[in-house]
Amino acid sequence: MLSDRQSENISAPRKRIRELGIRLGTMEPGLHNAITDVEGVRVGHATIIKGEGQGATRTGLTVILPHAGDIYQENLFASYFNLNGWGEMTGIAPLVTTGKLQTPIFLTGTYNVGIVYDAATEYFLKNHPNLAGSDEIVHPVVAECFDDFLSDTQSRQISEEDVFRALEKAQSGPVEEGVVGGGTGMTSFGFKGGIGTSSRKVGTKYTVGVLVMANTGSREEFRIDGVPVGKEIRGFEYKSGKTKSIILVAATDAPLLPFQLKKIAKRVALGLAQTGAISHTGSGDLIMAFSTANKIPKSRSHPYLKIKCVSDFWITPIYQAAVEATHEAVVNAITTARTIIGRDGNTAYGLPLGQVKDIMRKYLRIRAGNHE
Amino acid sequence: MNKLLKNTKDRKIKKEKYRPGEKNSLTDVKGVKVGQFSLQKDIQDKSGRQAFVRTGLTAVLPYPMDREMRLFLGCSRVNGKDEITGYEVLDDFCYLNSPIVITNSFNVGRVYNAILSYGFSLGRVEIWPPFVIGIDDSYLNDLRMGFLEEQDILKAFHEATETKVEEGSVGIGLGLRAYSWKGGVGTSSRVISFGFGRFTIGALAASNHGHELSLTEEKSASRENQTRSGSLTVILGVDLPLVPYQIRQITSSLVACLPLMGMASSRSDSINCVLFTTANAMSMEEDGPEVFDYQLLDDSLLEEIILAGSEAVREAIFRSLAKATPVGGRLGRMLETIPEKELHNLFQDFKGRVAE
């Protein structure tokens, strides 16, 4: 039985943290406050919601196309940081060795990885008959979180068509968040989790955008802007079992080399920490960072390519942007996620936004008279 | 030897593809200087015990040290038992801001400090972090007594030259031991010709490894050989514009190449392989520009650099042994120059260019 308050919450409209009048950090977000504010980055979702009760499926796929062109033809510098390795992100060994991202990034449920990997390979082969020579092995980047609480994961209800659909629907502009794509069955900090995104402008030159698939953290850990929201919230308890993993992807148009992108990925971990996450032993907390500034053509006619690279001496504001955008992306993943009833009637509640506002007001994060 | 082993041995890479540079030395890479200081003395310690000091340092100065400049640098290690200062910056920022010095483990602090003194005396604001590799030369050298003085260390920096590197039992090479024979310092270089230009990769090796692998039964039987772990340190410089991920690909491949090139090492050896590039250098005058322009070499050309580099590494190690003169030291120990036949056996009949 749901209490009145809980019933009300189920139908309440979902909002982003900024729409509640709460500003995280000090830097300004980009136009859409999304990873797509980094020019060329596109995001697509395939959401799979099927059945009720036993065998119900709440899963999906979110794909990030890293630039406006063809990532297979023009690679980007990228790196990765493994905050806690109890998770899967395929394609990482070649990515680290070659310093380059060569495929879209796919985010999905744990047991979907093989199917998505296969579909990504198929998509590549279909669209690039000439790149499929022996020298052109492509290793798709497919990352996962375990959506077992809400979804019958063992039935693996995702298909090649779903993957192609997400790729075809990928677009720039505002990004749908919460219960969508790979985030459909995710839970986080004792509430419904999912996909979240945010961005920051670094002066007038650069943008950093972050997109997360959040399925990690315990309720009592959850903090927004330092406020222990998870401890303060009342009601909406459920036995979620364990929450598992978070995948975080940072994009920037600042020209950075792979070793610098690794440092960005580490700052993303710091942004995650600002949400109170402590990276549980069973949480696969994997972080990828890429830069769209230097495009490295797959086939090159000249032995040299001129590239640019921000001096480490001046890089700190980009770090700050990564931390702030990550904090907000994770919070957005939770504030935008609505209540979902999934497998075997398991229910994950959307974070009660009315309570959040009250708590943030109590801690002086919303000034009196500062309405949404 | 069983058949499989024999076949493996036959398959080792013997032929060379690349020609050495003019001096066949790390200093063939333009702008790179090497300076060395050897410390050899027989003294009595406080208790009246005879002490034999057989140590020194070998310093690579990859660019004019009075300039605020950084070079990209990478390193691959196996069995990291040796101290490498500056490693955190190397690991995270991938740059070199100092000379690279190989000395013995107990002198690391002194050399570290002397690098700072040297930089400050040249007016450098930032000659940090000092990059010092400390290796164990205590087979011959009495570590407790063999401390380098700052003026000796500075002398090596001031007298560093672009001439061919002195090889064998010199600098840090004085007290080294490899394959149960006298080890030392060796150098070599290779020229890589691409359609768009000629480039040089140079190597400097400090051989202090392979103790388990004595090639004579009498030596391998000794307990000393079984228990002591050694290390092989290789510093490479190249003038091709590389970026850090490429440098790491090359160093890790070079480490993997060592056995293929006939350079067997012991199970417990540490291997330190460091590569810097003098191209894509970062000028940090007035804190440098906000954005650097680099050249990115096509990854498909890395293969050639690895092949040329592995030849230079092999010959540098070969020469470190071939050029090493006999040195006696602690506990009445004596290390002789490796006999020619054994040297060629060890290197799978690779002949080197010792006469040149």
A320 pLDDT above the threshold of 80: yes
A187 pLDDT above the threshold of 90: yes
Q: Could you tell me what percent of chain B has a pLDDT over 70?
A: 88
Of A97, A255, A302, which is closest to B291 when you measure between CB atoms? A255
Is residue B335 helix, strand or coil?
A: strand
Alpha-carbon span A148 to A154, nearest angstrom = 8
Mean of the per-residue pLDDT values for chain A?
93
pLDDT tier for residue B317 given thresholds of 50, 70 and 90: very high
Alpha-carbon span B4 to A349, nearest angstrom = 64
From chain B, which residues contact A within 8 Å (Cβ)? 92-95, 194-196, 241, 243-246, 249, 282, 284, 287-299, 301
Distance of CA A329 to the CA centre of its chain: 7
Pick the range with the lowest mean pLDDT from A73-82, B265-274, B276-285. Answer: B265-274
Alpha-carbon span B231 to B164, nearest angstrom = 24
Q: Which residues pair with B236 in a beta bridge?
A: B203, B275
| Residue where the block lists tokens 């013995």 | B104
Alpha-carbon span B253 to B21, nearest angstrom = 22
Q: Do A272 and A246 contact (CB within 8 A), yes or no? A: yes
A128 pLDDT above the threshold of 50: yes
**DSSP character string of A33-93:** SSGGGSTT-EEEEEEEEE-SBTT-EEEEEEEEE-SSS-TTTEEEEEEEEEEEESS-BTTHH
Alpha-carbon span B133 to A53, nearest angstrom = 64
Interval B169-208: pLDDT, tens: 999 999 999 988 999 999 999 999 999 999 999 999 999 9
pLDDT tier for residue B133 given thresholds of 50, 70 and 90: very high
A255 and B288: CB-CB below 8 Å?
no
Question: Would you identify the CATH topology of the domain B17-284+295-346?
Answer: L-amino peptidase D-ALA esterase/amidase (3.60.70)
Please, which residues have CB within 8 angstroms of residue B195's CB and are 6 or more apart in sequence?
A303
Supply the pLDDT for residue B222.
56
Residue A312: name the closest of B336, B145, B289 by CA.
Answer: B289
B209 pLDDT above the threshold of 80: yes
Q: Provide the residue count of chain B.
A: 356
Q: Which residues pair with B182 in a beta bridge?
A: B177
Interval A219-259: pLDDT, tens: 999 999 999 999 999 998 877 667 689 999 999 999 999 99
Strands B33-44 and B50-61: antiparallel
Alpha-carbon span A25 to A18, nearest angstrom = 11
Mean of the per-residue pLDDT values for chain B?
89
Of A257, A311, A314, which is closest to B243 when you measure between CB atoms? A257
Positive or negative, the CA dihedral B76, B79, B82, B83 is: positive
Residue B319 structure tokens: 């020469």
Q: Do B172 and B103 contact (CB within 8 A), yes or no? A: yes
Of A97, A99, A303, which is closest to B301 when you measure between CB atoms? A303
Pick the range with the lowest mean pLDDT from A317-331, B148-162, B334-348. Answer: B334-348
Alpha-carbon span B101 to B124, nearest angstrom = 18
Q: What count of CB pairs under 8 Å joins A to B? A: 77
Alpha-carbon span B91 to B244, nearest angstrom = 10
Pick the range with the lowest mean pLDDT from A108-117, A359-368, B96-105. Answer: A359-368
Alpha-carbon span A285 to A217, nearest angstrom = 11
Residue of B nearest to A300 (CA): B298
Within 164-203 of A, beta carbons closer than 8 Å to B belong to: none
pTM metric for this prediction: 0.90
A295 CB within 8 Å of a chain B CB: no
Residue B240: name the closest of B161, B300, B302, B310 by CA.
Answer: B302
B262 pLDDT above the threshold of 80: no
Alpha-carbon span B99 to B59, nearest angstrom = 7
Supply the pLDDT for residue A265.
98
Q: Which residues pair with B276 in a beta bridge?
A: B73, B237
Q: Do A139 and A102 contact (CB within 8 A), yes or no? A: yes
- Average pLDDT for residues B120-141, to the nearest whole number? 94
- For residues A172 and A238, the model is more confident at A172
